[in-house]
Amino acid sequence: MTSTLIQIPVENPATGEVIGHVPDMTAGDIAELARRARAAQPAWEALGFDGRARVLKRMQRWLVDNADKVIDTICAETGKTYEDAQIAELSYGAAAFGFWAKQAPKYLADERVRSSSVFVLGKRLAVRYRPMGLVGVIGPWNYPLTNSFGDCIPALAAGNAVILKPSEVTPLTSLLLARGLTECGLPADVFAVATGRGAAGAALLAEIDMVMFTGSTATGRKVAAGAAERLIPASLELGGKDPMIVLADADVERAANHAAYWSMFNCGQTCISIERCYVEAPIYDEFVSRVTEKVRALRQGVPAGPGSVDVGSLTFAPQVDTVARHVDDARDRGANVLTGGRRGEGKGYWYEPTVLVDVDHDMACMREETFGPTLPIMKVADAEEAIRLANDSDYGLSAAVFSRNLKRAESVARRVNSGAVTINDALVNYTALELPMGGAKPGSGVGHRHGPGGIRKYCRQQSLLVSRFNPKRDVHMYPYSARRTNLLGRLLRLVNR
């Protein structure tokens, strides 16, 4: 339908090969998508929860039936490993379709309200949730299914039409899933994919009733400003610099396994991956030794199916420069690189899995979001120092605490200023769709995904007050007589004693 002639090449970041092209849509193209979406939305809303759930459940089956095609597409445009695409993308998407189909009627059910006001005695009060109308989702490049297409699922379940603007770096997954929705019976124009660069995102912002954005803090500020200009709601999931605190009584092997795995997961390109580690002095040397051994053993390379490599490539070319800058800055300031620390050779966007020690908070690798395969580890004297340093950040998305003493670990966790904290684990809280997920500091955004708030944000609240008509009573109420006004005053004084 697009009039756009300019095409954007899509690369496989692991090989440098161009694997497809997508249109760079104009503002006019996106305005036409929005016009069609608004026309289609009322009928989609009118289907009700059961009707919409049938489409979502069919899409859940479609994902499972087309798992290989979806995983291959994700790997090809992101460079991530088969397992990263399977566990964090496909499995999440399949679970999300079923979850929102089931939970939407519960989370968006009318809520009865009781009031102490004497003016509404005998009346029925309720709050109901109505869809916003047209929701825009602007997605990131690191998780084209989970954090891009995945945010469209609750918006659709709530009865909205949705336009998804995926990253121009990884748009192919969104287009594939859009075809899947059509095959599963989603009415025409209820969902659309607006491909394009940054200008397409700005054009989308001018057409919608609410925006959900996932991406960098810098771009998030621009989206927030654009939403504020139009006075539309915005939910923003932004950056993370997620700390891991390892207390002296921790199971060192377990902590080292989690540090190595969750810092390098998706080549470190996860907003809630472990980006910095604070370890109490008594176990510091043992922990560093074990983590270094594990990271050094990781196999990095071009994904070629299940079990082929442990770490893929970076997805976005400028991210290689960011990782290199952080490592070089740390090295120049006195940090030691125990493994990795170099760009990859050949085509593609590569940086070696890297462990840094002798770091401090003057270094970029401890303050800025790296979003790459690095793990800086810092020795601390005690839990108090670990908490202070963990909170010394502009970000507050997620954190982890490791200790055999669960009571102590939970006490520490409650003092860490982040939207989520896991104990003796990391990241898996994201798979519990009942738990809200969002930032606790401005650098990590505003709003939440998941849980009741993860679908209610796509709705407007509407207050209902229902009066039962009683002719014998109501005929004397309006207009008020002096006698009734006096009686009402006496009643109010009695209630407010």
State the DSSP H helix or E strand holding residue 271, giving kind and residue range, or none if neither. Answer: none
305-323: pLDDT as tens digits: 999 999 999 999 999 999 9
User: 416 and 284 in one domain?
Assistant: yes
Helices (H), ranges, 304-416:
317-332, 364-367, 383-391, 406-413
In a domain, residue 444? The reply is no
Q: What is the CA radius of gyration of the chain?
A: 26
In a domain, 359, yes or no: yes
The answer to whether the CB of 489 falls within 8 A of the CB of 154 is no
Question: Cα separation of 262 and 267, whole Å?
Answer: 9
Asked if residue 380 lies in contact with residue 280, where contact means CB atoms within 8 angstroms, the answer is: yes
The per-residue pLDDT for 36 is: 98
Residue 348 confidence (pLDDT): 96
Q: What is the pLDDT of residues 140-173, one digit of tens each?
A: 999 999 999 999 999 999 999 999 999 999 999 9
**Quick check: is 22 in a domain?**
yes
What is the C-alpha to C-alpha distance for residues 399 and 169, in angstroms, rounded to an integer? 28
Give per-residue burial for 274-310: e unless 16+ CB within 10 Å, then b. bbbbbbbeebbeebbebbbebbeebebbbbeeeeebb
pLDDT digits (tens, 9 = 90+) for 200-250: 999 999 999 999 999 999 999 999 999 999 999 999 999 999 999 999 999
Question: Residues 261, 350: one domain?
Answer: yes
Residues 53 and 67 in one domain: yes
Q: Which two tokens stand for residue 258?
A: 């989690």
Query: Does a structural domain hold residue 400?
Result: yes
Question: Same structural domain for residues 130 and 198?
Answer: yes
Is residue 271 annotated as a catalytic residue, yes or no?
yes
**CATH number for the domain including 102?**
3.40.605.10
Distance CA 224, CA 326 (A): 28
Residue by residue, DSSP assigns 127-165 as EEEEE-SEEEEE--SS-TTTTTGGGHHHHHHTT-EEEEE
In the structure, what pLDDT confidence band is assigned to residue 475 with cuts at 50, 70 and 90? very low
Could you read off the pLDDT of 327-368 as tens digits, one per residue? Answer: 999 999 999 999 999 999 889 999 999 999 999 999 999 999
For residue 76, is pLDDT > 90?
A: yes
Amino acid 476: pLDDT: 45
423 with 341, same domain: the answer is yes
Question: Per-residue confidence at 85, pLDDT binned at 50, 70, 90?
Answer: very high
Task: Please check whether residues 303 and 394 belong to one and the same domain.
Answer: yes
Q: What is the pLDDT of residue 485?
A: 54
If asked whether residues 299 and 393 sit together in one domain, one would say yes
Q: Would you say residue 113 lies in a domain?
A: yes
Name the pLDDT band for 2 (thresholds 50, 70, 90): very low
| DSSP single-letter state for residue 311 | B
- Other C-beta atoms within 10 Å of 356: how many? 26
Return d(Cα 298, Cα 306) in angstroms, integer. Answer: 15
246, burial (CB in 10 Å: exposed 0-12, middle 13-18, buried 19+): buried
Residues 256 and 223 in one domain: no
Q: How confident is the model at residue 469 (pLDDT cuts 50, 70, 90)?
A: confident
Nearest to 168 by CA among 133, 204, 134: 204
Query: Considering the domain boundaries, does residue 224 fall inside one?
Result: yes
C-alpha to C-alpha distance for 312 and 33, rounded to whole angstroms:
35
pLDDT reading at 28 higher than 70: yes
Produce one character per residue of 327-349: b if its CB has 16 or more CB atoms within 10 Å, e if not: beebbeeebebbbbbeebeeebb
Candidate list 77, 168, 237, 368, residue with the active-site label:
237
pLDDT tens by residue, 396-407: 999 999 999 999
Question: Cβ(381)–Cβ(226) under 8 Å?
Answer: no
Confirm whether 198 is domain-assigned: yes
- b (16+ CB within 10 A) / e for 149-179: bbbbbbbbbbbbbbbbbbbbbbbbbbbbbbe
Residue 221 CA from chain centroid, whole number = 16
Q: How confident is the model at residue 279 (pLDDT cuts 50, 70, 90)?
A: very high
Which residue range forms the structural domain that includes residue 402? 242-436
pLDDT of 493: 58
Q: How many residues does the chain have?
A: 497
Round the average pLDDT of the chain to a whole number and report it. Answer: 94
Q: Tell whether 173 and 251 lie within a shared domain.
A: no
**Is 171:10 a contact under the CB 8 Å cutoff?**
yes
Do residue 222 and residue 140 come from a single domain?
yes
- CA contacts within 13 A on the Cβ side of 378: 27
Which among 205, 201, 196, 129 has a CA at the least distance from the CA of 160?
Answer: 129
Q: What is the pLDDT of residue 494?
A: 55
C-beta of residue 158 within 8 angstroms of C-beta of residue 455: yes
Same domain, 220 and 250: no
* Segment (H or E) for 263: helix 252-264
Q: Is residue 494 part of a domain?
A: no
- The pLDDT > 70 percentage for the chain reads 93
Strand 398-402 relative to strand 420-423, pairing = parallel
Query: Mean pLDDT, to the nearest integer, of 36-55?
Result: 98
255 pLDDT more than 90: yes
Q: Where are the beta strands (DSSP E) in 210-324?
A: 210-214, 234-237, 242-246, 274-280
Are 202 and 287 in the same domain? no
Q: How many domains is the chain built from?
A: 2
Angle at which helix 383-391 crosses helix 406-413, to 10 degrees, equals 30
Which of 392, 451, 377 is closest to 420 using CA atoms? 451
DSSP state of 429: G
Of the three residues 404, 436, 468, the one that is the final residue of a domain is: 436
Give the neighbor-by-neighbor strand order of the sheet with 111-113. 111-113, 124-131, 459-466
Q: What is the CATH number of the domain that holds 378?
A: 3.40.309.10
Structure tokens at 45: 């809303």
Half-sphere exposure of 392 (CA within 13 A, CB side): 15
